[in-house]
Amino acid sequence: MPVEVILPKVDMDMETGTIEAWHVKEGDLVRQGDTIFEIGTNKAVMEVEAPASGAIRNIKTETGVPISVGTPVAWIYLDGEAATTPSEPAAAAATVAAATTLSKAETPAAPVITVAPTSSGLRATPLARRIARQNALDLKTVTGSGPRGRIGESDVKRHLEQRPRCAPAQEARPAPAAGASEGRLQPFSAIRRIVANRLSESMRTAPHFYLTSEIEMSAARDLLGRLAKRHERIGAPKPSLTVLIARVAARILRDHPVINASVEGEATRFHERIDIGIAMERDGDLVVPVLRDAGSMDMPAMTREFARLREGMAKRTLTPAELGGGTFTISNLGMYGVDSFTAIINPPQGAILAVGRTVDKPVGREGQIVLRPMANFTLSSDHRIVDGVAAARFMADLREALENPELLL
Amino acid sequence: MPSDTLEAVSEIRELSYAEAVREALGQAMEADERVFLFGEDVGVYGGAFGVSGDLVHRFGKDRVIDTPISELGIAGAAVGAAITGMRPVLEIQFSDFVTLAMEQLVNQAAKIRFMFGGKASVPMVVRLPGGSGTGAAAQHSQSLEAWFAHVPGLKVLQPSTPHDAKGMLLAAIDDPNPVLIFEHKLLYKTKGHVPAEAYRVPIGKAAIRREGTDLTIVGSSIMARKAEAAAERLAADGISAEVIDLRSIRPIDFTTIAESVRKTHRLLVVYEGVKTMGIGAEISAMIAESEVFDFLDAPIIRLGGADAPIPYNPVLEKAAVPQEDDIVTAATNLVRRGEA
Amino acid sequence: MSAHQKPNQRPELAALDDATVAQALTRMHLIRKFEEAAEASYMRGLIHGTMHLSIGQEASAVGTTLPLEAHDYILSTHRGHGHCIARGAEPKLMFAEFFGKETGYCKGRGGSMHIADVEGGNLGANGIVGGGLPIAVGVGMSIKAQKNGRVCMVFFGDGASNEGAFHEALNMASIWKLPVVFVCENNKYGMSMDIGRAMAVANVADRASAYGMPGHCLDGNDLAGVAAVAKVAIARARSGEGPSLIECKTYRWRGHSKSDRNLYRTKEEIEEWRNQDPIRRLEDELKAHDRFDAAALMKLEEGAQRDIDAAVEFARTCPDPDPKDLTRDVYAL
């Protein structure tokens, strides 16, 4: 009897998933454990392994449409089984939940970017939740006026009225401007959808403010050169500027707990651990692998970890736990020649550091105009938990540390 | 019967609840000779609560039949008469005494049609005066309607107005199934408009007694009347309550309740029967299970009888069942603070 | 006296003509064979629930109903197969019901304990001990109000005579002089409890005087005797004089139900009653008076066996009910 391949439930509250891509085609021979397709949930993209070895048949080819958990998406015909079945095997076919790369994760995967939570700790009436859903509103950002802080309809409506005018997600479908080329319409990938929703949400709910510092990178550059030699000697990968910045940030975040913090309803969550997310691009998607416990790593360790994450990302072997749950994020676009930019905070984090390119610029030093390698650092902060002075102090420490890295000793 | 005279003034005619029931019985017996009334002291005594009144003089003792004090026996007699072509209307003197007749109502009346593959029907009506408030204490004051609403095969009604008392009794007598009508003793003397003609109030349809927007109060039997009075007071306080009179608890009109809650987002259920495992539990659960759940903006609140037998002392007796003040307080808390 | 001269028949037997006796005997055979086939089907797993067999009590069921008219009513008990067949129920529709089939008397909804044939005047077997007694009062009220001249015969066991329903029903039927015949089939045991331990008077029929009605205590395994008394009680009921109580002393050869291990009675007692087999007794008496020869009697029995075999075969092939119709007959529309 052929083995059914179902769209597996890979997350606690998952009801539907989307097949992002098939790695096999009709008739391919697969071995148990081979990746056969990628599934996008509302949290992350995961690979699904073949539950048995044999020939793949009856692939449901729809990608990009939501499918209910448990729906058969293909069948695997074992060796010797009639490979030409006119229709789908009967429902009696053995159901074997397809294994996923997640199955070995010890703890429930932390999402790369969390979706609006449906329960844990948050009190809201069913009606409030319904309206929030319809308006893509994160209830965490709403203040409840009911008993024990329960959010009701009136709280949500008040909140919606106060937020910047913005059409609800479902209605945001403007017709193409008259005369404009229709072009190619590509539906969002699962990741793109998450990024779009979460960053929109961030801009709507988190009052951003930005501080920019131009920092001299001579000492950092010099240090990076020396580190490269040392790493070569000890067999560690070559360190990059991004890692160095992450290392420095991790060190000074210790002294700035409010920057290493998140918004939680009406409270500030000060994180004990420093987990630094590094914004990266993969096949046109934004992903943020996390240097877990960055505060405890030295440069070789962090460089190795960063290399591992980058490789895992390229090979798509990272778990959602490795792709989410940071406490602070760094986005470096300097390698693309960007001078400076402002980044959108990765919610529920309180701040993100945007790094521009390092370029020789004339600066005044001891009464002389000299050329020095300079880079722009812009910190975006959520004003709900971070005040201007607190952000400025962080930036001052960042400048001091990058310009005088020996002070970190 | 001079019905033509009555019709002429039907627009303004008021009857008490007890008179309305009696009028329905009289009209049913006049229209259909299969209909007969029987029970303890329904004859010359006129019924323990005066409901049957002079009917024995109008229809004779063969159609208004005094029975021995044998609740099980007379309940079974109603079943036997019903399955062989009669339309018996049985009065159980106090609804509490139905405990003695459970076997025949639950095992026989409710199940005969089903057990016999649909080849019999049991068109009988049982009238049961119930409820507290008369100082009759624990064995003469109960509200046991929910017991019977738990039994497939029975229909259970709780008319709260003279108009419905008449119209629902006539509908029940027409109905080909066993129908239990719980009449609240405190309602017997209440008055209201009752048309003279023999009209029917459909079984299984709740009545919206008052429209409102802030919360829905579902009441059954006398609690529907109390809810109406409470709604009047709530209105003066700026709270707009929609009041639904359940009228029938099996079948239950879930649609009317659901539509109302979808509009008001808040639900308060008030009933005199013991709150635990009662009507309110069923209504709450039905809302929670339905798509209307997503329209709730506050927890569902039940006001029901205390977990105690009905006491004799009048202060305790009042405390044992929901009162108008309780409804006002609960509704206010629900709307203003989101809790009861 | 010639050699062929036989002692005179009892008047009870003489009162039954050959056709009536043949019909009665056929029905007793049908009951016996029906229940034996039901038992066999049960053991082969063809029957889902339990059943209460009346093997040994056939004369009571057939004798009491023999004088009834076609339009009269009966109300039966959990041990009621005999009453159904005695009133002319079709074994094939009864077996279909046993097998839970849509074609059964109750469309498979009732099973062994709830066989009814309302149109045929069988207002139903009853799973509750004493359940039919108050209903009989209402049926009597109906008959009286409708003045249709019918009679209602209600069966119950010795156990039921200790239920409150028994007293309420007999009392009401008597005060209103209802056309009801109360038939107690006293088979000595209320499940396991001997009637002698459950009742302080010797006979159930002794209780009739408390309700002002005649009480008849009979040998329930004597078809002719039972029929003769039933005839009197039925006539009394039909004439408006009121109800009677008939007690048929009999015995069930099998246990109370299929789960009975017979711990409360002895093999000897069962054997003693087996020797009082109502069918054999009637056959012997008929042969003794030369009313039927052995071949004729054998023919009746074989005919009954063929009917039962055909009934089982019919029921086996009938369709099961469709689960989507589960709630169909909960309410009349």
- Helices and strands, counts by H and E, chain B: 13, 14
- Are B40 and B173 within one domain? yes
Report CA-CA distances (Å) from B222 to A314, B334, C185: 71, 22, 49
Q: Give the catalytic positions of A in this structure.
A: 383
Which uninterrupted H or E stretch holds A55? strand A54-57
Interface test mutation site (partner A, options B261, B265, B297, max chain A beta carbons within 10 A): B297
The candidate with the shortest Cα–Cα distance to C61, out of C85, C37, C95, C39, is: C85
Fold designation for A3-104:
OB fold (Dihydrolipoamide Acetyltransferase, E2P) (2.40.50)
Q: Do B74 and C145 touch (CB under 8 A)?
A: no
The alpha-carbon radius of gyration of chain A (Å, integer) is 25
Residue B294 lies in a domain: yes
Instruction: Give the count of domains, chain B.
Output: 2
- Check residue A13 and give its pLDDT: 62
Let me know: does A368 contact A346? Beta carbons within 8 Å: no
- Are B168 and B81 within one domain? yes
In chain B, which residues have their Cβ closer than 8 Å to the Cβ of C331? 113, 153, 155, 177
Q: With b meaning 16 or more CB within 10 Å and e meaning fewer, what string describes A359-392?
A: eeeeeeeeeeeeebbbbbbbbbbbeebbeeebbe
Point out the domain boundary residue: B168, B193, B218: B193
Relative to beta strand B248-250, strand A66-68 is: unpaired
Helix axes C223-238, C18-43, angle to 10 degrees: 110
Low-confidence residues of chain A: pLDDT under 50: 83-120, 166-176
Residue C303: HSE in the Cβ half-sphere, 13 Å Cα cutoff = 12
Average pLDDT along chain B: 95
Choose the catalytic residue: B19, B23, B40, B71. B71
The domain spans of chain A are: 3-104, 107-167, 207-408
**Does C contact B via 3+ CB–CB distances below 8 Å?**
yes
Q: Do B297 and A130 touch (CB under 8 A)?
A: no
CA C172 to chain centre: 24
Residue B89 lies in a domain: yes
Q: Do A126 and B338 touch (CB under 8 A)?
A: no
Residue B200 lies in a domain: no
Mean pLDDT by 10 residues, chain B (340 residues): 49 91 98 98 96 97 97 98 98 97 98 96 98 95 98 98 98 98 97 97 98 97 98 97 98 97 97 97 96 93 97 96 97 81
Query: Does B150 qualify as catalytic in the annotation?
Result: no
The CATH number of residue B223's host domain is 3.40.50.920
**Whole-number Å distance between alpha carbons of B255 and A127:** 19
- Note the pLDDT tens digit of each residue in C133-189: 999 999 999 999 999 999 999 999 999 999 999 999 999 999 999 999 999 999 999
Report CA-CA distances (Å) from A1 to A4, A79, A94: 9, 10, 7
Q: Do B338 and A130 touch (CB under 8 A)?
A: no
The candidate with the shortest Cα–Cα distance to A279, out of A191, A395, A339, A399, is: A191
- Are B11 and B135 within one domain? yes
Q: Is A38 helix (H, G, I), strand (E, B) or coil?
A: strand
Interface test mutation site (partner B, options C118, C135, C156, C176, max chain B beta carbons within 10 A): C135
Point out the domain boundary residue: B160, B193, B226: B193
Q: Say which amino acid occupies C86.
A: A
**Does C contact A via 3+ CB–CB distances below 8 Å?**
no
Residue B199 lies in a domain: no
DSSP state of A100: B
Point out the domain boundary residue: B193, B219, B240: B193
Helix axes A218-234, A299-315, angle to 10 degrees: 80
- Note the pLDDT tens digit of each residue in A277-317: 999 888 777 888 999 999 889 899 999 999 999 888 888 78
- Check residue B8 and give its pLDDT: 52
Residue B198 lies in a domain: no
Q: Is A378 helix (H, G, I), strand (E, B) or coil?
A: strand
**Whole-number Å distance between alpha carbons of A151 and A395:** 37
What's the average model confidence in pLDDT over C6-15? 88
- Note the pLDDT tens digit of each residue in C209-267: 999 999 999 999 999 999 999 999 999 999 999 999 999 999 999 988 877 878 899 98
- Are B51 and B147 within one domain? yes
**Whole-number Å distance between alpha carbons of A128 and A137:** 10
Which of A126, A146, A150 is opposite residue B294, by nearest beta carbon?
A: A126
- Are B166 and B24 within one domain? yes
The alpha-carbon radius of gyration of chain B (Å, integer) is 20
CA distance B217 to chain A (A): 18
Let me know: does C99 contact C46? Beta carbons within 8 Å: yes
Architecture of domain A207-408: 2-Layer Sandwich (3.30)
- Are B139 and B112 within one domain? yes
Chains contacting A (3 or more CB pairs within 8 Å) = B
Residue B187 lies in a domain: yes
State which residues form the domain around B44: 3-193
Which of B293, B297, B337 is opposite residue A128, by nearest beta carbon?
A: B297
- Are B116 and B70 within one domain? yes
Residue B274 lies in a domain: yes
- Are B103 and B173 within one domain? yes
pLDDT band at C299 (very low <50, low <70, confident <90, very high): very high
Domains of chain C: 17-313 (3.40.50.970)
Assign domain A107-167 to a CATH class. Answer: few secondary structures
Query: Does B71 qualify as catalytic in the annotation?
Result: yes
Residue B316 lies in a domain: yes
Q: Do B80 and C175 touch (CB under 8 A)?
A: no
- Are B123 and B250 within one domain? no
Given the cut 0.85, state whether the ipTM is greater than it.
Answer: yes
Q: Say which amino acid occupies A295.
A: G
Chains contacting B (3 or more CB pairs within 8 Å) = A, C
Let me know: does B217 contact B327? Beta carbons within 8 Å: yes
- Are B185 and B61 within one domain? yes
